Amino acid sequence: MPRSKRILVTGGSGFLGSFLCESLLRDGHDVLCVDNFQTGSRANIRHLLGNPNFELLRHDVTVPLFVEVEEIFNLACPASPKAYQTNPVKTVKTSVLGAINLLELARRTNAKILQASTSEVYGDPVVHPQPEAYWGNVNTIGPRSCYDEGKRCAETLFFDYERQLGLEIRVARIFNTYGPRMSRDDGRVVSNFIVQALRGEPITLYGAGEQTRSFCYVSDLIEGLRLLMDAPGSAPKPVNLGNPVEFTIRELAELVIELTGSKAPLVHRPLPKDDPTQRKPDISRAEEVLGWAPRIALREGLGHTIAYFDGLLSGRSPAPETEQALAPPGFVLQAGRPGAGRAGGNGLDRSE
């Protein structure tokens, strides 16, 4: 068992943050969860509040923070287009001021710091799949720019703090990740389609549904983040984390309909401006540097996610703190031991 550390998770009450807090607590670390609850939920972390190694602080990362920590995972930022476009100026402040405040905290405390960056730094990519060396194709003045450019500037800050001040940084470029505890109304495609299918409401395909995404299950992503934080500082940066199996959005809708047994019809809605046409991570760096690759195929991950939303919508379970919301059966995170601890095969097939 590695030495117990005092670890800060910003955005810790959000979808990914809550699973990360849990994973760190399972390994015996002391976790400080910081969140302003803009898109996160108390329900996601309520079951952790009684844990003596868990502490919750309501705080906005645009304001400097003075605490003693050894590692920082910076996840604070709304992730869904609907959420980050609601107050775009705030989104930029969260990414940029948040990065500065947390990098300053890392500098003061000599902490290692990881940034949750995004595939959106590649914009609407013209290189496919996207390797880390690709600089992207990003609109600076569109509705997605507050998120894309905010995250790009945050990456710049991280690398400048490393070059100028010698900070120990990690940057994860996260591709579309899904699973239990996504907010049911945050507008992201997986939660939208599942909720619509379970309610028998029309499934909203934006545009023709021919745009592509590659969907990573949450437990895979959390393992990747943990391994990246623990990787040697000399390892190449940044690192793409995502599942490289690519689907059209129409294929995703059809799979959700099949797995839910829903009779919901597909309907078309206008394609949002600047919606990326195709997205698929090149994960060779993560495979090489971290020994990491996702293992949960879309069909399996959707099964867990559907079960979660089914419990939530039917009122059978208050959900986030139930077993159903946890990682898939057989999943045991063993950070630092890539390839260990998981039942089942790998998630890199397209047998759906």
Q: How far is the CB of 208 from ligand UDP (least distance, A)?
A: 10
Which window, 37-45, 48-56, 103-111, 287-295, contacts ligand NAD (CB under 6 A)? 37-45
Which window, 32-40, 49-57, 230-238, 290-298, contacts ligand NAD (CB under 6 A)? 32-40
Q: Is 79 in the site for ligand NAD (CB under 6 A)?
A: yes
> Do the beta carbons of residue 294 and residue 216 sit within 8 Å?
yes
Count the residues of the shown chain that bind ligand UDP, applying the rule CB under 6 A: 15
Separation of alpha carbons 335 and 30, rounded Å: 16
Nearest Cα residue to 61 out of 49, 73, 71, 48: 73
Which window, 62-70, 204-212, 302-310, 314-322, contacts ligand UDP (CB under 6 A)? 204-212
Catalytic residue among 84, 122, 147, 178: 147
Is the peptide bond between 238 and the residue preceding it cis, with omega within 30 degrees of 0? yes
CA 54 to chain centre: 21
DSSP 3-state helix, strand, coil percentages of the chain (rounded to 5)? 40, 15, 45
> Do the beta carbons of residue 95 and residue 120 sit within 8 Å?
no
Angle at 216 between CA 215 and CA 219, to 5 degrees: 155
Binding mask 215-254 for ligand UDP (x = CB under 6 A): ----------------------------------x-----
- Look at residue 142 and give its three-state secondary structure: coil
The one among 86, 204, 284, 322 contacting ligand UDP by CB under 6 A: 204
Which window, 103-111, 171-179, 305-313, 318-326, contacts ligand NAD (CB under 6 A)? 171-179
Is 147 among the catalytic positions?
yes
Q: Is 40 in the site for ligand NAD (CB under 6 A)?
A: yes
- Look at residue 206 and give its three-state secondary structure: strand
Nearest Cα residue to 99 out of 159, 13, 176: 159
Question: Phi, psi at residue 193, to the nearest 5°?
Answer: -65, -40
The one among 51, 53, 62, 346 contacting ligand NAD by CB under 6 A: 62
238 Cβ neighbours under 8 A, 6+ residues apart: 117, 132, 155, 171, 172, 173
Antiparallel, parallel or unpaired: β 203-206 and 71-74: unpaired
* Tokens 């934080």 -> residue: 229
The one among 118, 145, 212, 324 contacting ligand NAD by CB under 6 A: 118
Instruction: Give me the amino acid identity at 10.
Output: T
Q: Is 181 in the site for ligand UDP (CB under 6 A)?
A: no
For ligand NAD, the closer CB: 81 or 262:
81
Which window, 4-12, 67-75, 104-112, 200-208, contacts ligand UDP (CB under 6 A)? 200-208
Please list the alpha-helical segments (H only) found in 233-275. Answer: 249-260
The one among 81, 224, 242, 301 contacting ligand UDP by CB under 6 A: 81
> Do the beta carbons of residue 266 and residue 321 sit within 8 Å?
no
Binding mask 260-279 for ligand UDP (x = CB under 6 A): ------------x--x----
Q: How far is the CB of 1 from ligand NAD (least distance, A)?
A: 27
The one among 205, 231, 259, 283 contacting ligand UDP by CB under 6 A: 205
* Tokens 């393992």 -> residue: 223
Residues labelled as active-site residues: 147
Which residues contribute to the site for ligand UDP (CB under 6 A)?
Answer: 80-81, 176, 187-189, 192, 204-206, 211, 213, 249, 272, 275
